[in-house]
Structure 1
Amino acid sequence: MSATPILALVAHDAKKDAMVEFARRHKDKLSAFDLVATGTTGGRIQDACPDLNITRLKSGPLGGDQQIGAMIADGKLQGLFFFVDPLSPMPHDVDVKALMRLAVVYDMPMALNPATADILLRSARLAGLKTTSTTPEVGNYSS
């Protein structure tokens, strides 16, 4: 990974199509970032948008959620886009909750659905990252 700001893309099975459509709609903006994604989600986005710089991690239930959580804790991520499926039971729900908890603890911009993701991607906070690679400190709420 380079000094380019990094965003994480994750989607539950029922939301993978929405994530792929989000990436297609915003591929120009997303191309300004390095992207990490959990296994299948990353593969689907790569197929739809081959020009995006995506590093595929493990599948969420097989450790991908923890890999992203470690990146948050290490200050390597600038944003999390996690399209969750609130209507299906998740056997690895504790992993998902831990990932979201870390995003909150480290004041990480996080979008859990396409509507919020659209707003976050247009935000001044992420737009400013394209020219700087600094990560806000825990508890720094200014943007």
Structure 2
Amino acid sequence: MDIETGHRKRIALIAHDARKDELVNWVTEHRDTLLRHELLATGTTGRLVEEALQTPVHKLLSGPLGGDLQIGALIAEGQVDVLIFFWDPLAAQPHDPDIKALLRVGVLYNIPTASNEATANLILTGLLAVMDG
């Protein structure tokens, strides 16, 4: 993946139910930075992020209804630059094959991917360094 200096990034946001509050807290904490980019998200997560940031978020379907697959397809089409996916490692998900496919395509297309707050912070810090460089 080429990250161009000064280029607005397309950041996909996904969170499982048990991690939605954590993602909303994270996006609120990083509001100023995230507002400089295009945000897209799966259904409910997108609505929560939109409400928290008071900014439009491109909302796709809910994850279990195909939203994870939609984001995976956008990654394959070069339409996503960063994936922030706070998934729940302790709960079985009925759409687990879709989740694995999303993570697989993220690796295949070399998309920076965070599955927790620590990694999301590193990605955002790196993104800022590249954009300001």
TM-score if structure 1 supplies the norm length? 0.83
The secondary structure found in structure 2 opposite 1:90 is: coil
- Aligned residue for 1:50? 54
Post-superposition offset of 1:46: 1.1
Structure having greater relative contact order (Cα 8 Å, sep ≥ 6): 2
Of the three residues 67, 70, 81, the one matched with 2:70 is: 67
- What is residue 95 of structure 1 aligned with on the other side? 98
Q: What residue is the counterpart of 2:3 in the other structure? A: none
Aligned Cα root-mean-square deviation (Å): 1.5
User: 1:76 aligns to what SS in structure 2?
Assistant: coil
State the Cα distance separating 1:16 from its structure 2 match.
Answer: 0.1
Q: Distance in 2 between matches of 1:127 and 1:116?
A: 14
Counterpart in the other structure of 1:18: 22
Match of 1:141 in 2: none
What amino acid maps onto 1:127 in structure 2? L
Kindly indicate which of the two structures has a greater share of residues assigned to helix: 2
Secondary structure of 2:103 counterpart: helix
Q: Which residue of 1 aligns with 2:107?
A: 104
CA distance in 2, matches of 1:98, 1:130: 30
Question: Which residue of structure 1 aligns with residue 128 of structure 2?
Answer: 127
Residues matched between the structures, number: 126
The 2-side partners of 1:30 and 1:56 are apart by 16
Structure 1: tracts of 5 or more residues without a match: 132-143
CA contact under 8 A between 1:32 and 1:130: conserved in structure 2? Answer: no
Aligned residues of 1:5 and 1:130 also touching (Cα < 8 A):
no
Q: How far does the alpha carbon of each residue in 1:92-132 deviate from its partner, in whole angstroms, 9 at most, with x for none?
A: 00000000000000110000001110111101xx236658x
Offset at residue 47 of structure 1 (A): 1.2
**Equivalent AA in structure 2 for residue 48 of structure 1:** A
Which residue pairs with 1:29 in the alignment?
33
For 1:10, what is the secondary structure of its paired residue?
strand
